[in-house]
A and B are shown apart, each in its own frame.
Chain A
Amino acid sequence: MNGNTGKIITVQLTSGDLVIAELPEEYYQKYIGGSGLAARYFWEHADFDADPLSPEAMLIFMNGPFSGLKLSGASRNCIAGRSPLTGIWGDSSCGGYFAPELRYAGYDGIVIAGRAEKPSLIFIEDERVSIVDAAEYWGKGIEEVNRSLKEKHGKDYRTVLIGPAGEAGVKYANIINEGHHAFGRTGFGAVMGSKNLKGIVIHASKKEMKLADPKRYEELRKELNSKIKEALASTVLHENGTAANLEGGVYNGDVPIKNWTSNFWEEMADALTGGTLTDTYLTRTAACAYCGVACKRVVEVKEGPFAIPEGPGPEYETIVSFGSLLGSMDLAACCKAGRVCNDIGIDTITAGGTIAWAMEAWERGDLTEEDTDGVSLDWGDMATVIDVVLPKIARREGKLGTLLSEGSRSAADAIGKNSRAYTVQSKGLEAPMHDPRGGGHGLALTYAMSARGACHVADPMLFMEMGACFYPEIGFEYELEPMTDEYKPETAVISIQIGALENSACFCQFADREVTIPEWVELFNTVAGYGWDQDDMMRAGRRVFYLKRLLNYRLGCTAQDDDLTPRMLEPARDGEPEGVEINFSGMKEKFYQLMQMDPEKGIPVKTVLEEFDMGDEAKVIW
């Protein structure tokens, strides 16, 4: 096999069995890698009745075909399985340094099932794979454990770790690579915790890879790396991080404020934007493996209530989740909140979204001191959030910690009082920090169609509505007006295919939007030798989208779950989008027609599955 290794490690933690398994090349050709290949593996091997936190649940780490190949942004890894937060298909992508090491060690993925008797680590050195005791690390924060492991084994031993939140079963616990890079979303840290698995340590001693056309790949790689690094968006991201244009987003109404009750806050725009972070707390930039964009931040807050030593800094999502979303414009608090979340191991988006919901519930009187163990949840009170609420969530401590550790949808259902109406989530996954009412109406559609729940990186609709990328070869060469539904379903059909490629090839959206469709095709062909044309590649993207729909159907989803909450669809109360309605149901209906999906079941009809070479999958469902 070219490109991919064709091998995965299967780990049965209950029995201690470790098996190196091979995957058929047909799976790669049909589902690419990353979340697509993980979805195919899950389809075939998972117990669909298993609770996500039971030993029977399966957790899958999967690389894409370009990992370790020194292409900017293309060395991400995907984790996937059934999400404990949403109960349906979940996947989450992580940059950092895990994917290349896994590839160099000789594997495309790791599949983990069972439950270890005691706290454990999976230890991988090339072909030597073992399960080792991790009792000394259990209960400790990610920062400390990462440091200890590197002191013990060497800094080039790569780590993926959970924190106390994953051990405690917080439904949105994350997994952190190298103490900095997160498999953030859908709660797989809790799945690892339920398996008594503190983490994975991996080291490869060689970097040998077999490519279909290494000479041409090398030329293409150099061309693309130059193009990606020199792109306007990349220079902006490098200089000021992913929050570089937060300020612009505020003016357009894209940045959520106080649990999505406002779309404009002028003073906050300047206080939280990436340039301000650069001028105040940034000490240096950092990068994921082989990435020339280098958008990561390293920060230090020298003094004040939110002082932190030099270390990983916040992304845009964390800045807004622990900034304007909670009614705060204190950038130091964003830095500290992000650092704390990284250490206890929770997803900043769901954490911020859940706390924002709780603050609104507190303001309305739907949550009282009796529910919060006496803790007041006032807008903008970041000291309470950081010093009291986050530690309680991490340990699932008291009524407040237990309630908020479930995520906003479950918390709302627990207290009732129609409080689900002001949660901001789809399929149970809290929305990221782009409000479609100001960011673009197409995003409302793709949030709802994303298999894992509300997500802006499931596909590039956000960038397509901005006019930041175009794909003329597949029909996307028109400018969109973000604040209407015009051409949005048609654009979404293209967007979800590109998104499936990105998340299956594990290619970062900040880098790959510079890659044209012909270049994408050539990448697959020079690396894996598929001999694809453009149509073959786009069909694979669509197939991945369809497969995740089928998985979700088997996990209990239907068309009615492709929805947004009332808060997300009510007209904005102020700012640029004030009063504008989103034609959500119209866009959804049209998208369903274009994608040939059953309007009740929410899955592709049998004939279209057969047309996409998914006859075997169709037989299971139809």
Chain B
Amino acid sequence: MRITVRPIGVIRKYANGQELEVTRGLTSRQLIETLGGIPKKLKMVSYVNGKKKDLDDELEDGDEIKLVTMLTGG
């Protein structure tokens, strides 16, 4: 299936926005691992088609996934 990944804010430092062909049943957590480069210590949040989703929920064909972390205040 085909999904679109959009890293947000700090995550852009580690991953590029891209369209990806992935296997059915992939979760956001697995996606983050697949992308590589995103430090494991970052607490990640996944927004799928504009809604926050559990990292272990399965993604679906055509999903747009925005990856966000809360790393720093200011």
Q: Which residues of A does B touch, CB under 8 Å?
A: 232-233, 236-237, 239-249, 251-252, 254, 269, 273, 275, 315-317, 433-434, 456, 462-463, 466-468, 479, 482, 509-510, 576
Contact = CB atoms under 8 A, between A and B. Distances in A.
B72 interface: yes
Nearest to B66: A251
A236 B70 contact: no
The secondary-structure label for the interface of chain A is helix
A135 B13 CA distance: 51
A316 B21 CA distance: 37
Contacts of A251: 8-9, 45, 47, 66, 68
Contacts of B47: 251, 576
A456 B73 contact: yes
Interface in B8-61: 8-13, 39, 41-43, 45, 47, 52
Contacts of B12: 275
Contacts of A233: 71-72
Interface of B: 8-13, 39, 41-43, 45, 47, 52, 66, 68-74
A12 B53 CA distance: 61
Given A248-B11, A251-B8, A251-B66, A317 B71 contact: no
B9 A248 contact: yes
Nearest to A479: B43
Given A245-B10, A273-B9, A275-B12, A252 B71 contact: no
Contact of A246 (B9, B13, B42): B9
B72 A242 contact: yes
B72 A245 contact: yes
Most central of B11, B42, B72 by chain A CB within 10 Å: B72
- The list of the 9 closest CB pairs from A to B, nearest first, reads A316-B74, A242-B74, A248-B9, A247-B9, A467-B43, A466-B70, A245-B9, A248-B68, A245-B10
A140 B10 CA distance: 40
A317 B74 CA distance: 6
Contacts of A249: 9, 70
Contacts, number: 84
A462 B73 contact: yes
9 contacts: A233-B72, A242-B72, A242-B73, A242-B74, A244-B71, A245-B69, A247-B9, A248-B71, A468-B72
A244 B9 contact: yes
A482 B11 CA distance: 20
B74 A248 contact: no
Contacts of B39: 232
A248 B10 contact: yes
B43 A248 contact: no
A252 B72 contact: no
A338 B71 CA distance: 24
A331 to B, nearest CB: 15
A240 to B, nearest CB: 8
A456 B73 CA distance: 9
A244 B74 contact: yes
Contacts of B74: 241-246, 315-317, 433
Given A248-B69, A315-B74, 7 more contacts: A241-B74, A242-B72, A244-B10, A245-B74, A246-B74, A251-B47, A468-B71
A614 to B, nearest CB: 31
Contacts of A273: 9
B64 to A, nearest CB: 12
B70 A245 contact: yes
A510 B13 CA distance: 19
A364 B8 CA distance: 35
Contact of A236 (B8, B66, B68, B72): B72
B16 to A, nearest CB: 14
B26 to A, nearest CB: 21
Contact of B73 (A269, A316, A482): A316
B70 A252 contact: yes
B70 A468 contact: yes
Nearest to A251: B68
A315 B74 CA distance: 7
A236 B45 contact: no
Contacts of A466: 43, 70-71, 73
Nearest to A462: B73
Most central of A252, A317, A433, A456 by chain B CB within 10 Å: A252
A434 B73 contact: yes
Nearest to A457: B73
B39 to A, nearest CB: 6
Contacts of B9: 244-249, 251, 269, 273, 275
Contacts of B43: 466-468, 479
A584 to B, nearest CB: 20
Contacts of B11: 248
Most central of B69, B71, B74 by chain A CB within 10 Å: B74
Nearest to B10: A245
B52 to A, nearest CB: 6
A248 B70 contact: yes
A98 B70 CA distance: 32
A316 B8 CA distance: 17
A232 B41 contact: yes
A373 to B, nearest CB: 34
Contact of B8 (A248, A456, A467, A509): A248
A237 B72 contact: yes
Nearest to B12: A275
A248 B13 CA distance: 13
